Structure 1
Amino acid sequence: MDNNDNNKDRNRDTKTRDDNTSAVGEVLLRILITAIVIGIAALLTPGFRINGLWSLILASVVIALLDYLVQKIAGVDASPFGRGLTGFIVAAIILYVTKFIVPGFNISVWGAIIGALVIGILDAIIPGRAM
């Protein structure tokens, strides 16, 4: 193996590490933005309540994971306005399902529907991707 091959291997390893670091950063940013948007939506939506910061953080992680799974399995983006009616319905379902996973995250069916609408509006205002 000559120096060019060694340099290529070294560059490939560095690129893989950089890609992994950027992926972790994207996930953390996505969770942070989701937490902000979900917190605001809970304040503005009747029938939607979050009891404490830890419930908000855990709900953000769960929502981000459910969004990721739905996107990978069904190919549907759960952005309330990004994918039309389907995305809106999926966002409302994800919000409602989170109720059963996260203690302190309480939402009614109507709260999930209105919450998905509020999240869609906030998603259009706040840069980044909330759901």
Structure 2
Amino acid sequence: MDNNEDRNKNRTGQDEAKDWDIGEILIRILVTAIVVGIAAFLTPGFSINSLWSLILASVVIALLDYVIQKFTGVNASPFGRGITGFIVAAIILYVTKFIVPGFNISVWGAIIGALVIGIIDVIIPGKAM
């Protein structure tokens, strides 16, 4: 094991989450916009009023995901950590409602939306949430 690999291991021997670069963040925002747009179309109780709301929501969702993953290590992908990832994804969707104007979602819409996003995430390559 070389020094670079040593730096990527924490005290328990597990890999630490690596920092994202700007290209990964932009790709993540783009994929998130596509996936959230599809989920809003398919999910009852979930609507986005404009393209700008979709773009802003994608940025907010990507940032919330980054912050949660950075501080807790929980992957917020609906299938990333089983039920924990699913619940975190639903919470991120619901919290986004309070930050982004034109992004409307109910509690059930967030739950169903997290499920739809998880299914779409399996189909579309890249990381949605």
Q: TM-score, normalised by structure 1?
A: 0.83
Paired residues for 1:69-84 under 5 Å: 69-84=67-82
Cα displacement (A) at 1:73 = 1.1
The residue aligned with 2:39 is 41
Cα displacement (A) at 1:77 = 0.6
Cα displacement (A) at 1:64 = 0.1
Residue identity opposite 2:24 in structure 1: E
Consecutive aligned runs of 4 or more in structure 1 exceeding 2 Å deviation: none
Tell me how far apart the structure 1 counterparts of residues 115 and 89 of structure 2 sit (CA, whole Å).
Answer: 9
Cα displacement (A) at 1:48 = 0.1
Q: Are 2:43 and 1:29 equivalent residues in the alignment?
A: no
The residue aligned with 2:83 is 85
Tell me how far apart the structure 1 counterparts of residues 118 and 89 of structure 2 sit (CA, whole Å).
Answer: 9
Larger Rg: 1
More off after superposition, 94-103 vs 23-32:
23-32
Tell me how far apart the structure 2 counterparts of residues 26 and 82 of structure 1 sit (CA, whole Å).
Answer: 18
The residue aligned with 1:130 is 128
Count residues with an aligned counterpart. 110
Q: Give the aligned CA root-mean-square deviation in angstroms.
A: 0.9
The residue aligned with 2:57 is 59
Cα displacement (A) at 1:100 = 0.1
Residue identity opposite 2:35 in structure 1: V
Stretches of structure 1 lacking an aligned partner (at least 5 in a row): 1-21
Tell me how far apart the structure 2 counterparts of residues 98 and 116 of structure 1 sit (CA, whole Å).
Answer: 13
Larger relative helix fraction: 1
- Identical pairs, percent: 83
- SS of aligned partner of 2:21: helix
Cα displacement (A) at 1:74 = 1.2
Residue identity opposite 1:65 in structure 2: L
Stretches of structure 2 lacking an aligned partner (at least 5 in a row): 1-19
- SS of aligned partner of 2:121: helix
Cα displacement (A) at 1:72 = 0.9
Residue identity opposite 1:62 in structure 2: V
The residue aligned with 1:109 is 107
- SS of aligned partner of 1:49: strand
